[in-house]
Amino acid sequence: MMLAPILLFVYNRPAHAKRAIEALLHNTLAAESELFIYSDAARSPEDCKSVNEVRSFIHSVNGFKKVHIIEREKNYGLARSIIDGVTTQVNAYGRTIVLEDDLVTAPYFLQFMNSALEMYKDEPRIGHIQACDFTQDPSLPDTFLIKWTGSWGWATWDRAWKYFNPDGKALLNELEKRKLTYTFDFNGKYGYTRMLRRQTEGKNNSWAIRWNASLFLKDILSLNVGKSLIQNNGFDGSGTNCGGGNLYASNLYMKELPLVPITPVVENLQARQAYVNYYARTNSFMAKAIRRIKRTLKGDFGA
């Protein structure tokens, strides 16, 4: 089995980067894997010190088959950096595993991702592998197929990444033209269409919503997990796009996650309903109001 290169995107959070690397080094296949660390340049003079601290740390990283460090000479921002890095490496290797610096991996994360990449390498209807589960829904099977892509600890192939469309307006127009926004939004329970529309308006720069829409419109599925091999530690106000506290918390599954071929290759409708239920429970007006009240009582007056 050819091991996929690992892409790790870092910026100005040395503590997060160190935790991410430490967790990766505890993975069973770390010593046999190549690691590409993409370090973005400072966005402002205030970020220079922390960016330099991160860069000093990543130059000390070892324990992998090989470590490649790409230091951006100017600030790309997360979206451009990920799109460029994934495109470069997936074209070179045919497959890749992608992480950001606030993600902590379970010990069998690399083993699962590489096995899944190999198992489904020739299955055109599967284009994405997602290793994080934040629903904590016990009804979900260990692995399942769903028409949705998560961005926390994921992998893909060159055959699927070629469908990535960076043109958010074209994606939005097609979703609306084909009357797919309700389904795209998990039966209207979460505003993925709104997120995409805001991207087209310059109010966010999410690569992930464009990747999600790109595969959704091509009717390409994602292999997801019902037990999380990823924990996101970015909900501390330090990240670019993370918020919500424990809303997307996950418990790391520390054992090997069984991987068996799923046939037929169709969306698991029970799993989709579990996501609909999760978003209905956490994204309703009442749920948002209660969270805001709790934050206010704690002295958190943020949005």
pLDDT digits (tens, 9 = 90+) for 226-263: 999 999 997 655 544 444 456 677 899 999 999 999 99
Dihedral, 184, 186, 191, 196 alpha carbons, nearest 10: -20
Residue 234 is predicted with a pLDDT of: 78
Contacts of 205 (CB under 8 A, 6+ apart): 77, 78, 79, 80, 199
Whose structure tokens read 């595993």? 97
6-10 and 34-39 beta bridge pairing: parallel
How many other C-beta atoms lie within 10 A of the C-beta of residue 203?
Answer: 11
In order of 35, 63, 229, the CA distances from 254 in angstroms are 22, 21, 8
Residue 241 is predicted with a pLDDT of: 46
Residue 2 tokens read as: 């050819």
Q: Name the pTM for this structure.
A: 0.92
* Segment holding 37, helix H or strand E: strand 34-39
CATH code, 6-163+218-297 = 3.90.550.10
How many other C-beta atoms lie within 10 A of the C-beta of residue 63?
Answer: 14
Q: How far apart (Å, rounded) are the C-alpha atoms in residues 298 and 293?
A: 9
Whose structure tokens read 């106000």? 237
Q: How far apart (Å, rounded) are the C-alpha atoms in residues 236 and 101?
A: 13
The percent of the chain in helix, strand and coil, each rounded to the nearest 5, is 40, 15, 45
Q: How far apart (Å, rounded) are the C-alpha atoms in residues 29 and 25?
A: 9
Residue 119 is predicted with a pLDDT of: 98
Q: How far apart (Å, rounded) are the C-alpha atoms in residues 237 and 136?
A: 23
Residues in the chain: 303
pLDDT digits (tens, 9 = 90+) for 77-88: 999 999 999 999
Q: How far apart (Å, rounded) are the C-alpha atoms in residues 283 and 191?
A: 9
Residue 295 is predicted with a pLDDT of: 55
Whose structure tokens read 């002295």? 299
Residue ranges, the chain, pLDDT below 70: 235-247, 285-303
